[in-house]
Structure formats: C-alpha cells, structure tokens
Amino acid sequence: MKKKIFVRAPVLSQSGYGEQSRFALRALRSREDLFDIYVQPINWGQTGWIWQENEFREWLDSRIIETQILLQQQQLQPDISLQITIPNEFQKMCPINIGYTAGIETDRVSPVWLEKGNAMDKILVVSNHAKKTYEETTAVLQDGNHYKLDTPIEVVWENTPTATETEGILGFQPRHDFNFLSVSQMGPRKNLENTIKWFVEEFIDQDVGLILKTSTKGNSHMDQEYTSKVLKSILASYPDRKCSVSLLHGDLSEGQMKALYEHDKVKALVNISHGEGFGLPLFEAARSALPIIAVGWSGQMDFLSDNGKEMFLKVKHQIGPVSSHSIWKGVIDEGANWAYADQGSYKMALRQMHKNYADFMSQAEELQAHVDTNFGDEVLFKGFVDSILGFDSSILEIQEEVVLEFE
C-alpha cells in the first residue's frame, strides 16, 4: 500500500535548500509506486525562485495545487511528513515526522536544534560532518543535566540534475585565457572578500582572471547594484592590477551553469568559505571535471575525498570562533567555531594550480569518476527512499490518524 508523504520545503527557492528539496522530490518521484506525494512550498530567506519551464516544474506545480486544495478542504491525511528546512522549523505534523536539514557549517548545533530534533522520529542530514556535529553537541540545562540528540540520524547525500546540453550565457566573454571561478554569495560565511583580495595580491601583475558567479536575492536589481558596489570597493585598493575580477550576477539555468563549469577559459573552482553544509557548487564542479581549490573541512569532504584520498588542492585552515556578526541566535550560537583559510596556503594553491595545471586536471578527472560512481541518481535515490521507509510498518498502523489543517 502506498504511503502518503507530505513534503514541506522551499521547493521553489533558488538556493541550496531549494536544490536539496528538489532532490528529495526527484528521489521520491522515482518510486511513485511507493508514495503519494503532497507538496507545500515554504520561503527560504530572501532567495529568488526557480523560473525554468520543464516537465518537472509542471509536475511540481500540479502537486502543489492538489495539496493546497486538500488542505483547504481538510481532507489531507498523510502518513509521513518530510520537513526540509533548519531544525528550528521542525514540528509534529503526521504519524511519522522526518526532518531533513543541511546547514551545519560549524562545530556544534544550537540547543534549539537538539530540542526540535528530539521531537522528530528521524533526522536526515547531507554530510557526515553534519551528523558528527549533531551527535557530539551537548547542551547543559539550568539544572546541570546534559541534553543531547536522541533521535536517530542518518546521512543522505544529495545531487543536482545533470544538464545534457550547454546553453549560452549572454555577454560572457572572459578577458583572460586562465580564469579561476568562485560560485558564491557576498556574506560572512562565504569569505568572498578574502577570496578576491588574496587572489589579486597573488596575480596583481599577471594576465589571470577571477570570475565571481553570484545569485540574486529576492529577484532584486538592487541586490546586483549592492554586490557590484562591494566588489568595486574591494578592488579600489589595487588600482594598478593587471589581473581582473569580473562579476556574473544573477540566476543561470542548469545548461548555462554547465557551460560555465566547462568553458575552456575557466580552469578551476575556488572556495575558501568558513564551512559548507554540503557544497553544491563544489559538487557540480567535481562532476564537470573542473579542478578544485578548497578548505579541507565540513560537508564537501564527503565527495572531495574517497577513503582518505583527497582529489582536490587543499588549503590549510585553522578552527576558530564564529565572528560576532555571523551569530544567528538559535542557529549559529555564540561559542560555535568554523574554519578560517590560511592566506599563504590559499595563495600558494592558486600559484600551484596556475603553474602545474595539467597535474590537477588529472586529479579532477579522477574526482569526476568518483562522483559519477557514488553520487549518481540511481545510488542516491535508492538511499534516500530507503531512509524514508526505514520504519517498522506497524508504527504507522498504531498511530492516531492526523488530518492536516489549512492555515
């Protein structure tokens, strides 16, 4: 008998959580013989929304509409809720409740996450870093007792759809023959300011480029103006530079991102963020056989290495306290730590990549083969479905019937 699964997630968001949500739906949809799928979209911050028209989007819209009608009529009685968001939003909604979260970029989770996590029947995370962090975090209560996660937690890796064809990017003509690429956002965690400054200092008198691919917040033109203003402010300190930093701002289709990763003048991806939940741009670069420079810490290590063998150019780092302006109470609390890339190590990695490029191309091809084998749809979809169904069927039979109410 099919299970009715209610997916509450930012399925329309142009964001990491949006990609994670759509991965979950693609996995569930691969076994429509097992699931009746109902979808309620939620917002995720100030992110824009997906705009491509394709068969998946038509299917998604149909599921959203049907779900909304059933909620309004109070006729939706799911067996399982799948809530894809930060744990602060987790709640009991159905007989079985599963939380699927990504964003653990530090070395501990908030006590709120422990409390909310323990209200769920299972938690899924996208990396071993996230699982380890969740399991090892202990909160001390006012009475002196220690509080930790008791809910079962499993790692379920994700991926993004593989575009079959490239699409042109209007006006994209790299000035140099050798360009590094950063797919990121302006903001404290991504460490984009140092990514730019240290690159310019290393190649200030050479014909080398850095391309910044950033996304639009809230589909806003003002966001593009803000990002351009920040970039100009950083570069103003280097007026006589020979290298260049160019901005590619806005949302691109899957085919356009494929074209970007595979462009013959784009030679390597750089990422020295303080931490990643999973690191989708890193994953997409690996799948495209684009050499990678990155910090060897947090979620990306699940696919950048295999049995201890690292298939990327690693930047040294130190673990230190999260900066005060990055504190997000209840999510990233004071006392949490994350990675700080070493300036000299990053500059050396840039230089090595530029000087010995052929060596790192071979490494990237090896990484691509690893990702293709272990992170393809067939493997990941099966793992995801197995985790969702990993309950004794009798549990569903003894739970009280729950009718979701429209709010």
Residues 10 and 150 in one domain: yes
Residues 213 and 94 in one domain: no
Check if the beta carbon of residue 5 is closer than 8 Å to that of residue 36.
yes
Closest CA to 45 of 88, 109, 92, 97: 88
Q: State the Cα–Cα distance between residues 169 and 166, nearest whole angstrom.
A: 9
pLDDT recorded at residue 352: 98
Q: Could you tell me which residues come within 8 angstroms of residue 183 by beta carbon, excluding any fewer than 6 positions away?
A: 213, 269, 271, 281, 284, 285
pLDDT recorded at residue 134: 96
Q: State the Cα–Cα distance between residues 157 and 278, nearest whole angstrom.
A: 8
Closest CA to 79 of 96, 99, 67, 98: 96
- Report the percent of the chain where pLDDT is more than 70: 95
CATH number of the domain residue 345 falls in: 3.40.50.2000
Residues 210 and 148 in one domain: no
Beta strand pairing call for 3-9 and 80-84: parallel
Residues 111 and 197 in one domain: no
- Tens digits of residue pLDDT in 348-375: 999 999 999 999 999 999 999 999 999 9
**Does residue 406 have a pLDDT over 50?**
no
Closest CA to 248 of 160, 195, 174: 174
Provide the domain count of the chain: 2
Name the phi and psi angles at 320, rounded to 5.
-145, 170
Residues 194 and 341 in one domain: yes
Name the phi and psi angles at 363, rounded to 5.
-65, -40
DSSP result, 30-74: TTTTTEEEEEEE---TTB-B----SHHHHHHHHHHHHHHHHHHTT
Residues 98 and 224 in one domain: no
Residue where the block lists tokens 């691509």: 368
Residues 384 and 370 in one domain: no
**pLDDT confidence of 407, banded at 50, 70, 90?**
very low
Residues 226 and 367 in one domain: yes
Q: State the Cα–Cα distance between residues 92 and 192, nearest whole angstrom.
A: 38
Residues 28 and 129 in one domain: yes
Residue 35 domain flag: yes
Residue 170 domain flag: no
Residue 39 domain flag: yes
Provide the CB-side half-sphere exposure for 142 (13 A, CA). Answer: 0
Residue 114 domain flag: yes
Average pLDDT, the chain: 92
Residue 169 domain flag: no
- Tens digits of residue pLDDT in 222-243: 778 888 999 999 999 999 999 9
Residue 171 domain flag: no
**Does residue 395 have a pLDDT over 60?**
no
Residue 219 domain flag: yes
**Does residue 216 have a pLDDT over 80?**
no
**Does residue 401 have a pLDDT over 60?**
no
Q: Report residue 166 as tokens.
A: 């490239």
**pLDDT confidence of 396, banded at 50, 70, 90?**
very low
Residues 365 and 217 in one domain: yes
Q: State the Cα–Cα distance between residues 374 and 372, nearest whole angstrom.
A: 6
Dmax of the chain from CA atoms?
72
Check if the beta carbon of residue 181 is closer than 8 Å to that of residue 246.
no
CATH number of the domain residue 74 falls in: 3.40.50
Residues 15 and 147 in one domain: yes
Q: Report residue 78 as tokens.
A: 């799911």
Residue where the block lists tokens 């996660």: 149
Residues 250 and 318 in one domain: yes
The pTM of the full predicted model, rounded to 2 decimals, is: 0.93
Q: Report residue 267 as tokens.
A: 């030679």
- Report the percent of the chain where pLDDT is more than 90: 82
Residue 204 domain flag: yes
Which domain covers residue 112, as residue numbers? 3-159+378-398
